[in-house]
Structure formats: structure tokens, C-alpha cells
Amino acid sequence: MQRLILSELEESGSETASRLAKVQRAVQASQRCLVITGAGISVSSGIPDFRSPDGLFQQLKQKYPSSVTNGRDLFDATLFHDASMVNVFYSFMGELRTLIDQATCTPTHAFIKQLDEHGKLLRCYTQNIDSLEKRVGLETAFVQCEDTGDKTDSTDSVSKRRKQAMDKKFTRAVQLHGDLDTLICTICHTRCPFSHKLAQEFREGTPPPCPRCKEVEEIRGIVGKRSQTTGVLRPDIVLYNEMHPQGELIGSLNEYDLKRRPDLLIVIGTSLKIPGIKRMIREMSRCVHDSAQRTQRAGAGKVIFINRDEPPRGWNDVFDYFIEGDADQAVSLLPIHGDKLALHDESSSSSAESTQDAMSIPRICNPAMSIDRICNPPVDRVLEAKATAKRPSKPLSSILPPARVSGLRKRGSGKTPSRKITSMMKVVKSTTVAKPKLPDALRRSQRTRQQASNISPLVPS
């Protein structure tokens, strides 16, 4: 793994500039790129990350010291067993929703969108729940669902439509941990938008009841049936120790992308701590490196990691380049669709250098075999070649014996038969049909008749 420090780019004579040129060539030569993003790409939009010294985990510990001992506990599914943790969780989610509404897309999001517009992006897998990928124009839905006008929808109807219309190329950005755009009921799994009114209820720390369960409960009370448990709304995100509701579908998309033979993998803004993400990156890295052996494009088959902090141990054989620095600054140095002529000039210059190296060995042995002397021969050789071309050819009598010359002239053309005609004549001679042999008795009778015809008749004297 080669390391590139963005702060050292301005220093003259550093190796960072040469390594950056290789990374740029890899991005330009790529045709099937996969991107995996983390919370680091949304920091410049005003949304803090999780594990940095000033990230969300540290902020939660400082804000709720009596309830939260570890920031990760607030994103664990077991928090619903503790009433105090539930109140803190809903209050924090309401504040986070307000931050997301005020956030704007970053240059890194625009970079991923440009990859998609140029036809280079196979898919983007994001760990973020801010839905900025959707805001920049990347499709995050698994299928193209028709708008029926009903804002609430059940999970069963959605799953039926997904089974009917499943286009694996339709989804451009996969949200691995869900999003904060929708809420889901804990009982009936009804989904509804995360509106500003509901965000205000979240900030107060009280879980809002599910409107569908509340309506069903009112109808049951009118008809005289016993009451049932009413569900509450929670963010439609995946917490620790929780299974993804669309995990099987995401696995099929991941398998489909690996079969498409990606030639570039870019990992941006993640700490590489989640086991599922680590396994996904390693599988994609192996696939990208395998595709580099099949392709002939210069610079293809690279894995690039962009982050402020260096990766943990055990990733040197996974990443080819590590760009240390800000994600927005790093992607601004990566041209997506460079000038084809510039790429051609680089490839031609590299091929010329390789040709020069290959010709260096015979040049030492024979100085006359240089490229300059082959392309630009001496003037005396040129004049000699022109004089030879204008010189009349010698007559046949001065080269061949007289008998041979007369034989050629009798044939009419004065040219020897071609090899093709000669071979055809040999084939014809070898395929002539032999006369069938006659029986001995018939052969003796024919000989006797011939002898009798040759004897003259007797004439009386």
C-alpha cells in the first residue's frame, strides 16, 4: 500500500505527486467502479462523524453523562429495554434529523454523481443515514414503485412489488444502515415520512404512537372488541445487534456487482470497524485485483482508500493507495473523464520508453541498428537504392543456358509454371485411373486374333 499525504503535495521533489498521477490514471482508465462511503464524507456538510475525538459518540457522552457511558450503546438494539436510554435515543434522533435537514451535499457526493453520469459507477454502498446520496440524484430505492398517493405503506405490499419488478441496475446507492427519511412502526411495520412535526416530538424524548395502530384501536373500541398493543414509530435504521430487513436483497446486489468484474474500488471516510463492511471491502478488493489480470488498460485494477486516519493493521494487501487527508480535497484532485488524447500520449510515451529500453541491448552490439539509422538511412544508401531501381534488368541469355531459354520461349510466355499449377498437375497425375486387368483366357484370345490378322492369306501360284 502506497501512502499519499495531501499536505505534502506542495513540497517539491516528493513522491506524493508521482503517486497521485498513478491514482489519477487509475480513475480515468476505470470503466466499472465501486464506491463505499462512511460518515467522513458528510462532515463538511455539518454532520459529525461517529468515532473521531469530536464525533457523535464523544458528544453523546458529554451531553448525557449519567445515561450514556459509551456512545455506541445508543445505537444498539438492546436500548429499547431501558426506558431512560429510549428517551435519550429519541431526543438525539430528533436533533440529528434537524442537522440533516440543514445539511448540503458535499463535493464528494458530487464526485460520486459524476462517476454515475459518465457511466463509470457500478454502484455506491454507503453506511450513512443522512440520504445525501438521494439528494444529489442517486437512486436509493430497490425498485421503481408507482406513486399511489398513500404516504403510508405496509411491508407486505412493498415486498410483493419488489418481487414483481426487480431491476438490479436500478439502485445506484445502497443504504446499508437505512435512512432517517422514514419511520417504521414497531408492531405493524407501517412506514411514514419523518416530518418536522414528528421530529419535534422526537426531540422531546417521547416516542410517537403509530397512526395506523391508533386508527385500528379506535375501530376495535367502536365495535366492542378488546384493545391491542399500539406500536410506536422509530427511525427506519439498522442498529447494532439487528438484522437488516433487506439483507438478502443487498447480498444479491453485491453478488451481482462482483460478477460484473469491477476494475476500481474507492473507499472513502470510514474507520473500517464494522465486520460486515470489512468483509465486503475485502471481497471487492480481491475481485478488482483479479480483473486487473484480465484487462490490458494501463492503471486499471486498483483499490483506493481516502480517509483522515490511516487504516488499522492488516489492510496493506487490500488497498493499493492510501490518500491521507480531507475527502473533498482528495476527490477534487481526481479527474473522472480526462482528455483521451492526454491518456494516449502517456501510453505512447511509456511504450516509446519501453521500445527505447528494448533497443538498447542490440545498439550496444551493433551501432548501425539504431532507430535513427533505420528511419533515416544515410544519403549514399538512398542514392544507391534509387540507382538500383532505375537500372535495366539483365537478359535471360546472360543468366540461363541457351537450351533453357529456347525451351521457355517455345512455351509462349517465357515464364516457368507457378508452384500452384505444378502442384495441381502432380495431383492430377497421381489421381489418374488405371486400366482394369483382363482375365488370362480373354487376354490370350485377343492375342491370337491379332496374330491371325497379321498373317497374309495364301495365294495360289
Which DSSP letter does residue 310 get?
A: P
Residue 317's CB is within 10 A of a number of other CB atoms, namely 12
Query: What backbone torsions phi and psi does residue 266 show, to the nearest 5 degrees?
Result: -120, 120
- d(CA 258, CA 34) in angstroms, rounded, equals 10
- d(CA 432, CA 105) in angstroms, rounded, equals 88
Which DSSP letter does residue 398 get?
A: G
> Residues 121, 172: contact at Cβ < 8 Å?
yes
**Beta-ladder partners of 373:** none
Where would I find the H helices in 118-170? 132-136, 155-164
CA 460 to mean position of chain CA atoms: 116
> Residues 35, 121: contact at Cβ < 8 Å?
yes
Amino acid code (one letter) for 246: Q
> Residues 18, 34: contact at Cβ < 8 Å?
no
Q: Give, for 236, the enclosing helix (H) or strand (E).
A: strand 233-237
In the three-class reduction of DSSP (H, G, I as helix; E, B as strand; rest coil), residue 429 is classed as: helix
Catalytic residue among 81, 109, 118, 177: 177
Grid cell at residue 164: 414483481
Q: Give the CA count within 13 Å in the CB-facing half-sphere of 18.
A: 5
- Beta 302-307 vs 321-324: how paired, if at all? parallel
Grid cell at residue 299: 492503471
Q: Give the CA count within 13 Å in the CB-facing half-sphere of 379.
A: 0
Where would I find the H helices in 77-153? 83-102, 107-117, 132-136
The question of whether 81 is a catalytic residue gets the answer no
- d(CA 421, CA 221) in angstroms, rounded, equals 106
Amino acid code (one letter) for 242: E
Which residues, 6 or more positions from 66, have their beta carbon under 8 angstroms from its beta carbon?
A: none
Which DSSP letter does residue 188 get?
A: S
Which DSSP letter does residue 182 get?
A: E
| Residues with a known catalytic role | 177
